Protein backbone atom coordinates (compact mmCIF):
# COMPACT_ATOMS: atom_id res chain seq x y z
CA UNK A 1 0.00 0.00 0.00
CA UNK A 2 2.80 2.38 0.93
CA UNK A 3 4.52 1.59 -2.35
CA UNK A 4 1.40 2.54 -4.29
CA UNK A 5 1.15 5.84 -2.39
CA UNK A 6 4.81 6.65 -3.10
CA UNK A 7 4.32 5.78 -6.77
CA UNK A 8 1.29 8.07 -6.99
CA UNK A 9 3.27 10.89 -5.36
CA UNK A 10 6.12 10.41 -7.84
CA UNK A 11 3.73 10.37 -10.79
CA UNK A 12 2.02 13.49 -9.45
CA UNK A 13 5.35 15.29 -9.09
CA UNK A 14 6.41 14.34 -12.61
CA UNK A 15 3.09 15.59 -14.00
CA UNK A 16 3.38 18.85 -12.05
CA UNK A 17 6.92 19.45 -13.30
CA UNK A 18 5.93 18.67 -16.89
CA UNK A 19 2.87 20.89 -16.78
CA UNK A 20 4.71 23.81 -15.20
CA UNK A 21 7.70 23.44 -17.48
CA UNK A 22 5.34 23.81 -20.42
CA UNK A 23 3.67 26.82 -18.84
CA UNK A 24 7.06 28.41 -18.11
CA UNK A 25 8.27 27.80 -21.65
CA UNK A 26 5.07 29.30 -22.98
CA UNK A 27 5.40 32.40 -20.82
CA UNK A 28 9.06 32.79 -21.76
CA UNK A 29 8.12 32.72 -25.43
CA UNK A 30 5.62 35.58 -25.07
CA UNK A 31 8.41 37.97 -25.97
CA UNK A 32 8.62 36.57 -29.50
CA UNK A 33 5.36 38.09 -30.73
CA UNK A 34 5.77 41.36 -28.85
CA UNK A 35 9.30 41.72 -30.20
CA UNK A 36 8.06 40.95 -33.72
CA UNK A 37 5.43 43.70 -33.41
CA UNK A 38 8.07 46.13 -32.15
CA UNK A 39 10.73 45.28 -34.73
CA UNK A 40 8.40 45.45 -37.73
CA UNK A 41 7.17 48.83 -36.49
CA UNK A 42 10.76 49.94 -36.06
CA UNK A 43 11.67 49.05 -39.65
CA UNK A 44 8.53 50.63 -41.09
CA UNK A 45 8.94 53.77 -38.98
CA UNK A 46 12.57 54.20 -40.05
CA UNK A 47 12.32 53.36 -43.73
CA UNK A 48 8.73 53.65 -44.96
CA UNK A 49 7.67 56.85 -46.71
CA UNK A 50 4.41 58.19 -48.07
CA UNK A 51 5.38 57.06 -51.55
CA UNK A 52 6.86 53.74 -50.40
CA UNK A 53 4.94 52.38 -47.39
CA UNK A 54 6.43 48.88 -47.85
CA UNK A 55 10.18 49.53 -48.23
CA UNK A 56 12.77 46.95 -49.23
CA UNK A 57 14.03 46.79 -45.64
CA UNK A 58 10.62 45.48 -44.56
CA UNK A 59 10.25 43.10 -47.50
CA UNK A 60 13.58 41.48 -46.59
CA UNK A 61 12.09 40.34 -43.28
CA UNK A 62 9.91 37.89 -45.22
CA UNK A 63 12.96 35.97 -46.45
CA UNK A 64 13.88 32.71 -44.70
CA UNK A 65 17.54 33.71 -44.57
CA UNK A 66 18.14 37.39 -43.87
CA UNK A 67 21.00 39.21 -45.56
CA UNK A 68 23.79 40.76 -43.53
CA UNK A 69 22.23 44.18 -42.99
CA UNK A 70 18.80 42.83 -42.04
CA UNK A 71 20.36 40.22 -39.77
CA UNK A 72 22.53 42.76 -37.96
CA UNK A 73 19.58 45.13 -37.56
CA UNK A 74 17.46 42.37 -36.04
CA UNK A 75 20.23 41.23 -33.66
CA UNK A 76 20.80 44.75 -32.33
CA UNK A 77 17.08 45.41 -31.99
CA UNK A 78 16.53 42.05 -30.28
CA UNK A 79 19.38 42.56 -27.81
CA UNK A 80 18.05 45.97 -26.81
CA UNK A 81 14.50 44.66 -26.52
CA UNK A 82 15.40 41.69 -24.31
CA UNK A 83 17.40 43.90 -21.94
CA UNK A 84 14.67 46.53 -21.70
CA UNK A 85 11.57 44.33 -21.64
CA UNK A 86 12.79 40.98 -20.26
CA UNK A 87 15.76 42.01 -18.12
CA UNK A 88 18.19 39.61 -19.78
CA UNK A 89 20.80 39.44 -22.51
CA UNK A 90 20.60 37.73 -25.87
CA UNK A 91 20.92 33.94 -25.53
CA UNK A 92 21.60 31.10 -27.92
CA UNK A 93 18.53 30.33 -29.98
CA UNK A 94 16.90 33.74 -29.45
CA UNK A 95 17.82 35.02 -32.89
CA UNK A 96 16.27 32.06 -34.73
CA UNK A 97 13.06 32.33 -32.69
CA UNK A 98 12.86 36.08 -33.25
CA UNK A 99 13.55 35.91 -37.00
CA UNK A 100 10.84 33.28 -37.46
CA UNK A 101 8.43 35.26 -35.27
CA UNK A 102 8.99 38.41 -37.32
CA UNK A 103 8.63 36.53 -40.60
CA UNK A 104 5.46 34.72 -39.52
CA UNK A 105 3.78 37.85 -38.17
CA UNK A 106 4.66 39.97 -41.18
CA UNK A 107 3.49 37.24 -43.58
CA UNK A 108 0.17 36.97 -41.75
CA UNK A 109 -0.29 40.74 -41.70
CA UNK A 110 0.48 41.04 -45.42
CA UNK A 111 -2.23 38.46 -46.12
CA UNK A 112 -4.65 40.29 -43.83
CA UNK A 113 -3.89 43.65 -45.44
CA UNK A 114 -4.51 42.12 -48.86
CA UNK A 115 -8.20 41.45 -48.16
CA UNK A 116 -11.15 43.60 -49.15
CA UNK A 117 -12.72 43.23 -45.71
CA UNK A 118 -9.62 44.71 -44.08
CA UNK A 119 -9.81 47.56 -46.59
CA UNK A 120 -13.26 48.47 -45.25
CA UNK A 121 -11.90 48.61 -41.70
CA UNK A 122 -9.01 50.76 -42.89
CA UNK A 123 -11.35 53.22 -44.63
CA UNK A 124 -13.48 53.48 -41.48
CA UNK A 125 -10.46 54.13 -39.26
CA UNK A 126 -8.86 56.68 -41.58
CA UNK A 127 -12.13 58.60 -41.94
CA UNK A 128 -12.49 58.64 -38.14
CA UNK A 129 -8.92 59.92 -37.72
CA UNK A 130 -9.34 62.60 -40.38
CA UNK A 131 -12.79 63.91 -39.42
CA UNK A 132 -13.40 62.73 -35.87
CA UNK A 133 -16.66 61.20 -37.06
CA UNK A 134 -17.84 57.77 -38.11
CA UNK A 135 -18.23 57.26 -41.83
CA UNK A 136 -21.71 56.60 -43.19
CA UNK A 137 -22.46 53.40 -45.05
CA UNK A 138 -23.03 55.39 -48.24
CA UNK A 139 -19.65 57.10 -47.94
CA UNK A 140 -17.97 53.80 -47.12
CA UNK A 141 -19.46 52.12 -50.17
CA UNK A 142 -18.38 54.99 -52.43
CA UNK A 143 -14.79 55.11 -51.13
CA UNK A 144 -14.54 51.34 -51.20
CA UNK A 145 -15.75 51.11 -54.80
CA UNK A 146 -13.35 53.82 -55.91
CA UNK A 147 -10.31 52.26 -54.21
CA UNK A 148 -11.09 48.73 -55.41
CA UNK A 149 -11.43 49.95 -59.00
CA UNK A 150 -8.13 51.79 -58.67
CA UNK A 151 -6.12 48.89 -57.25
CA UNK A 152 -7.57 46.42 -59.75
CA UNK A 153 -6.45 48.55 -62.68
CA UNK A 154 -3.06 49.68 -61.39
CA UNK A 155 -0.48 47.34 -59.84
CA UNK A 156 1.50 50.25 -58.40
CA UNK A 157 -1.61 51.62 -56.72
CA UNK A 158 -2.40 48.15 -55.39
CA UNK A 159 1.08 47.75 -53.88
CA UNK A 160 0.89 51.24 -52.38
CA UNK A 161 -2.51 50.58 -50.81
CA UNK A 162 -1.32 47.23 -49.44
CA UNK A 163 1.63 48.97 -47.81
CA UNK A 164 -0.56 51.67 -46.28
CA UNK A 165 -3.04 49.19 -44.82
CA UNK A 166 -0.21 46.99 -43.53
CA UNK A 167 1.51 49.88 -41.81
CA UNK A 168 -1.75 51.11 -40.30
CA UNK A 169 -2.52 47.66 -38.88
CA UNK A 170 1.01 47.13 -37.55
CA UNK A 171 0.98 50.54 -35.85
CA UNK A 172 -2.34 49.67 -34.21
CA UNK A 173 -0.83 46.42 -32.93
CA UNK A 174 2.06 48.36 -31.36
CA UNK A 175 -0.34 50.72 -29.59
CA UNK A 176 -2.45 47.80 -28.35
CA UNK A 177 0.64 45.93 -27.10
CA UNK A 178 2.75 48.73 -25.61
CA UNK A 179 0.19 51.48 -25.10
CA UNK A 180 2.20 53.80 -27.36
CA UNK A 181 3.02 54.30 -31.01
CA UNK A 182 6.58 53.40 -32.00
CA UNK A 183 7.94 56.95 -31.88
CA UNK A 184 6.16 57.74 -28.61
CA UNK A 185 7.66 54.51 -27.23
CA UNK A 186 11.15 55.66 -28.30
CA UNK A 187 10.65 59.10 -26.72
CA UNK A 188 9.43 57.54 -23.46
CA UNK A 189 12.47 55.24 -23.38
CA UNK A 190 14.82 58.18 -23.88
CA UNK A 191 13.19 60.07 -21.02
CA UNK A 192 13.57 57.04 -18.75
CA UNK A 193 17.26 56.79 -19.60
CA UNK A 194 18.02 60.47 -19.03
CA UNK A 195 19.92 61.35 -15.82
CA UNK A 196 17.65 62.79 -13.14
CA UNK A 197 19.33 66.22 -13.19
CA UNK A 198 19.04 66.48 -16.97
CA UNK A 199 15.38 65.43 -16.87
CA UNK A 200 14.69 68.12 -14.25
CA UNK A 201 16.36 70.80 -16.41
CA UNK A 202 14.35 69.77 -19.49
CA UNK A 203 11.08 69.76 -17.55
CA UNK A 204 11.86 73.19 -16.05
Express each pLDDT in 58-84 by its tens digit. Answer: 999 999 889 989 999 999 999 999 999
* 137 lies in the same domain as 38: no
Is 96 contained in some domain?
Answer: yes
Taking the alpha carbons of 172, 28, 83, 61 in that order, is the dihedral positive or negative?
negative
**Is residue 178 in some structural domain?**
yes
Statement to judge: residues 103 and 192 lie in one domain = yes
Residues 94, 48 within the same domain? yes
Kindly give the confidence (pLDDT) of every residue in the chain, 204 residues in length, as a single tens digit, with 9 standing for 90 and above.
545 545 444 544 444 444 444 434 555 688 999 999 999 999 999 999 888 888 999 999 999 889 989 999 999 999 999 999 999 999 999 999 999 999 999 999 999 998 888 999 999 999 999 999 999 999 999 999 999 999 999 999 999 999 999 999 999 999 999 999 999 999 998 888 766 555 554 454
How many domains is the chain built from? Answer: 2
pLDDT at 115: 87
For the chain, how far is it from start to end, CA to CA, in angstroms?
76
Identify whether residues 129 and 43 lie together within a single domain.
no
Maximum Cα interatomic distance, the chain, rounded to a whole number of Å: 80
* Judgement on whether residues 63 and 49 belong to the same structural domain of the protein: yes
Are 184 and 103 part of one and the same domain?
A: yes
Q: Which of 104, 98, 59, 53 has the alpha carbon at shortest distance from 78?
A: 98
Other C-beta atoms lying within 10 Å of the C-beta of residue 64:
7
Q: What's this model's pTM, rounded to 2 decimal places? A: 0.78
4 belongs to a structural domain:
no
For residues 100 and 68, membership in a common domain is answered with yes
Domain carrying residue 134: 114-153
Amino acid sequence: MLGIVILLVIVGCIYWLYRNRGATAGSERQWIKTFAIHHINEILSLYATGSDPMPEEAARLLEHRLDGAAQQSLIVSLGNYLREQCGRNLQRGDYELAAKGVRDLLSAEVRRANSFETLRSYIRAMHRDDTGEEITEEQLAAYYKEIVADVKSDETAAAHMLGQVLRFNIEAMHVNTFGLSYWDYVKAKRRRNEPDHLRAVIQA
